[in-house]
């Protein structure tokens, strides 16, 4: 036997009997505020629990969110229906379809709610057939067109049992919310309990939260630990997606958190205030040309996402605007950041907060770049990966689609698959668009080959030089590129990269210069001329670099060169002298070897570094 968790929310016009119905279903009166009792109206969200058994024996635990119907509190209503599995849509038999019936229907549709049960309440007051027809008419063409309608009366008790059965059947057919290990708790209540401290509640989606776990509250970015978790009054070790969840955060103050904030695990990206979205304007607004409904470049709107509501400015390409019934891609600039994922839904209300004017879906929560194609399939992880990578050329694997409705495993599996099919290039921590990568690679190869051709005496191209020539800012991209090249026909030698087949050689015409330099370095083997004296012209510089890169000349200091041979000879003579005579000073060694201070000091420093000698006071001993 398994237990499945779902969230139901009520919806419907004011006074149509939503709260009374929740009480009849669960025994809990969701109206808890004194003001609500006094005015006999729901103002803010109320909560109750419904535990039932599915036909197959599974336990179903449904959290019910009761929302206000009054037009002044639509804002609270939206906060309650952000991540629900099923709507309990209420229409009163004596009143019929009313303005907030329509507005709530739109809100549920914009938020992507797919399932509803319609309660035709107050059936004791008549009007059943008329209102049933009206409801069917209004729901035609919406996802709720075929939703069951149940007549109820809390006065007579009619239909309550039937409604419970209908809700059970519907939930039994509903897929439980996915666990993608990216939990988000959209906070709808914050309060403090004496002796316990700050408690936040909300509907949990996307993953589980555990007692003792380190969490972060966005957008304030407050990290803290969960001391305890409850759901409908029961202590829990773990809360799962689809649960009404209360968590105790004793280290945070109530005034640090507010409705709309999100609890999540650290490391899944940050909240943002610039988003790319696909937005649609309500077709119903056709009838009305009120200025408040305008959506054009620079229009102020309110965006409702999760349990949050933020002021925003909207922008559609050039001279853009949105007509009733139209869908377009838009940029949103929010007054404060939200923690949104690709594929999240939101509702748009006008700047005076009187009307719901549209809704949309997040295409890119980090959207400051060019737009994604408007027809991109947001439920296809492959399509999203391709689009993300194509847009930027490359992406870091760990952050790729981190703010999406896919788990890390789904993303990495899809990436592997796309790699196998040759659609995305993956190397180390980078995933790149194939064309982008091919061009980058070709450019790098071109630069390496050009260096081999123009400077055959060089071991290869310096990595720093290559990186700046390619203008690669991200070191991880460059590392991946080098690794990719070295998987193929190239090799990295210290700080240079070269073609495998490249052998550094001096061009024929400067071989005489090489001869001259070798002679200069061997005439007085332990006291050769300074580098400046040797590198008298550009050709000589070229030769010196060649000899150093090939290990034939040792660079003791910037201005001190020794032939490799003489360096080795000096080294063994120093060792021999000390082992025979004991620790020696620079000047003793200089005299013994017939060298000069200019050479001896850097030589001994080098031997110290190489672990041959060790300095004790002003003497050197052997290590
Ligand atoms: N006759 C009759 N009255 C009902 C029925 N259900 C609710 N009522 C009455 O209708 C009034 C409003 O009921 P509520 O449950 O508060 O309505 P609501 O939809 O929650 O209202 P808001 O939350 O403010 O939108 C109350 O006076 C209820 O007693 C019913 O089935 N029959
Ligand atoms: Mg109510």
Q: Which atom of ligand 1 is nearest to the CA of 121?
A: 31
- Ligand 1 in reach of 75 Cβ (< 6 A): no
Among the bound ligands, the one closest to the CA of 30: 2
Distance of CA 585 to the CA centre of its chain: 62
How far apart (Å, rounded) are the C-alpha atoms in residues 74 and 80? Answer: 10
- Residue 456, pLDDT score: 87
- Exposed/middle/buried for residue 425 (C-beta within 10 Å: 0-12, 13-18, 19+): buried
Tell me: the pLDDT tens digits for 560-602? Answer: 999 999 999 999 999 999 999 999 999 999 999 999 999 999 9
Q: Compute, in degrees rounded to 10, the torsion defined by CA atoms 396, 398, 399, 402.
A: 150
Can you tell me the mean pLDDT for 62-80? Answer: 96
Distance of CA 484 to the CA centre of its chain: 26
- Residue 318, pLDDT score: 75
Q: What 3 state SS string does 219-242 have?
A: CCCEEEECCEEEECCEEECEECCC
Tell me: the pLDDT tens digits for 253-262? Answer: 999 999 999 9
Among the bound ligands, the one closest to the CA of 16: 1
Lowest mean pLDDT: which of 28-32, 105-109, 314-318, 352-356? 314-318
- Classify each residue of 519-531 as buried b or exposed e, where b means 16 or more C-beta atoms within 10 Å of its C-beta: ebbeeebbbbeeb
- What is the average pLDDT value for the chain, to the nearest integer? 92
| Residue 500 DSSP label | T
* Tokens read off for 392: 């930027």
CA of 41 to the centre of ligand 1 (A): 9
- Ligand 1 in reach of 19 Cβ (< 6 A): yes
How far apart (Å, rounded) are the C-alpha atoms in residues 592 and 262? Answer: 77
| For the chain, the helix, strand and coil percentages under 3-state DSSP, each to the nearest 5 | 35, 30, 35
- Ligand 1 in reach of 70 Cβ (< 6 A): yes
Is the sign of the CA dihedral 150, 153, 158, 161 positive or negative?
positive
| Number of residues in the chain | 623
Distance of CA 600 to the CA centre of its chain: 58
- Residue 608, pLDDT score: 93
CA of 155 to the centre of ligand 1 (A): 10
pLDDT at 386 over 80: yes
Strand, coil or helix: 290:
coil
- Ligand 1 in reach of 554 Cβ (< 6 A): no
Lowest mean pLDDT: which of 314-318, 439-443, 612-616? 314-318
Tell me: the pLDDT tens digits for 540-550? Answer: 988 998 888 88
What's the whole-model pTM score? Answer: 0.81
How far apart (Å, rounded) are the C-alpha atoms in residues 374 and 377? Answer: 9
Give the DSSP letter string of 398-465: GGTTTTBSS-HHHHHHHHHHHHHTTSEEEETTEEEEHHHHHHHHHHHHHHHHHHHHH-TTSSSEEHHH
Minimal CA–CA distance to 2: which of 58, 72, 56, 50? 58
Q: What percent of the chain has pLDDT over 70?
A: 98
- Ligand 1 in reach of 586 Cβ (< 6 A): no
Indicate left, alpha or beta for 301 from its phi (over 0: left) and psi (-120 to 50: alpha): beta
Q: What percent of the chain has pLDDT over 90?
A: 72
């Amino acid at each position: 036997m398994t237990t499945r968790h779902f969230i139901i929310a009520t919806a419907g016009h004011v006074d149509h009997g939503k709260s009374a119905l929740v009480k009849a279903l669960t025994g809990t009166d969701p109206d808890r505020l004194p003001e609500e009792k006094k005015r006999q109206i729901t103002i803010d969200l109320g909560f109750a629990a419904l535990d039932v058994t599915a036909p197959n024996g599974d336990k179903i635990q449904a959290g019910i969110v009761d929302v206000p119907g009054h037009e002044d509190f639509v804002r609270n209503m939206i906060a309650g229906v952000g991540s629900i599995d099923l709507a309990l849509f209420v229409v009163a038999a004596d009143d019929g379809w009313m303005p907030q019936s329509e507005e709530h229907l739109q809100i549920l549709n914009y938020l992507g709610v797919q399932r509803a049960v319609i309660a035709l309440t107050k059936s004791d007051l008549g009007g059943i057939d008329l209102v049933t027809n009206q409801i069917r008419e209004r729901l035609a063409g919406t996802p709720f067109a075929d939703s069951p309608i149940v007549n109820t009366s809390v006065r007579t008790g009619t239909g309550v049992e039937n409604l419970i059965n209908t809700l059970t059947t519907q939930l039994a057919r509903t897929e439980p919310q996915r666990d993608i290990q990216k939990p988000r708790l959209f906070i709808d209540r914050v309060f403090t309990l004496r002796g316990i401290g700050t408690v936040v509640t909300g509907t949990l989606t996307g993953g589980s939260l555990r007692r003792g776990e380190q969490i972060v509250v966005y957008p304030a970015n407050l990290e803290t630990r969960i001391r305890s978790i409850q759901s409908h009054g029961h202590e829990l070790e773990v809360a799962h997606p689809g649960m009404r969840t209360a968590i105790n955060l004793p280290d945070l103050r109530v005034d640090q958190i507010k409705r709309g904030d999100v609890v999540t695990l650290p490391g899944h990206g940050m909240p943002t205030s610039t988003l790319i979205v696909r937005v649609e304007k309500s077709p119903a607004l056709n009838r009305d040309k009120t200025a408040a409904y305008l959506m054009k470049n620079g229009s102020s709107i309110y965006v409702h996402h999760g349990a949050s509501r933020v002021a925003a400015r909207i922008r559609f390409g050039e001279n853009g605007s949105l007509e009733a019934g139209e869908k377009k891609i838009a940029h949103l600039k929010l007054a404060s950041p939200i923690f949104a994922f690709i594929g999240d839904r939101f509702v748009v209300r006008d700047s005076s907060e009187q009307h719901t004017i549209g809704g949309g879906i997040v295409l890119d929560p980090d959207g400051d770049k060019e737009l994604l194609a408007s027809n991109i399939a947001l439920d296809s992880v492959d399509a999203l990966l391709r689009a993300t990578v194509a847009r930027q050329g490359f992406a870091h694997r760990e952050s790729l689609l981190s703010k999406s409705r896919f788990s890390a495993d789904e993303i990495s599996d899809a990436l592997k698959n796309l790699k196998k099919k040759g659609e995305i290039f993956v190397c180390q921590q980078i995933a790149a668009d194939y064309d982008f990568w091919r061009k980058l690679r070709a450019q790098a190869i071109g630069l390496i080959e050009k260096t081999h051709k123009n400077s055959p005496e060089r071991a290869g191209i310096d990595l720093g030089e290559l990186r700046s020539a390619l203008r690669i800012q991200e070191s991880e991209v460059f590392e991946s590129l080098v690794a990719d090249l070295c998987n193929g026909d190239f090799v990295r030698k210290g700080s240079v990269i070269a073609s495998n087949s490249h052998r550094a050689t001096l061009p024929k015409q400067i071989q005489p210069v090489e001869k001259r330099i070798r002679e200069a370095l061997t005439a007085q083997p332990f006291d050769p001329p300074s580098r400046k004296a040797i590198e008298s012209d550009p050709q000589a510089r070229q030769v010196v670099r060649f000899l150093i890169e090939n290990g034939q000349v040792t660079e003791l200091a910037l201005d001190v060169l020794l032939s490799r041979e003489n360096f080795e000879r000096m080294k063994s003579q120093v060792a021999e002298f000390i082992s025979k005579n004991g620790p020696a000073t620079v000047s003793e060694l200089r005299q013994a070897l017939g060298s000069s201070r200019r050479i001896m000091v850097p030589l001994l420093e080098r031997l110290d570094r190489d672990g041959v000698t060790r300095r004790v006071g002003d003497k050197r001993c052997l290590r």
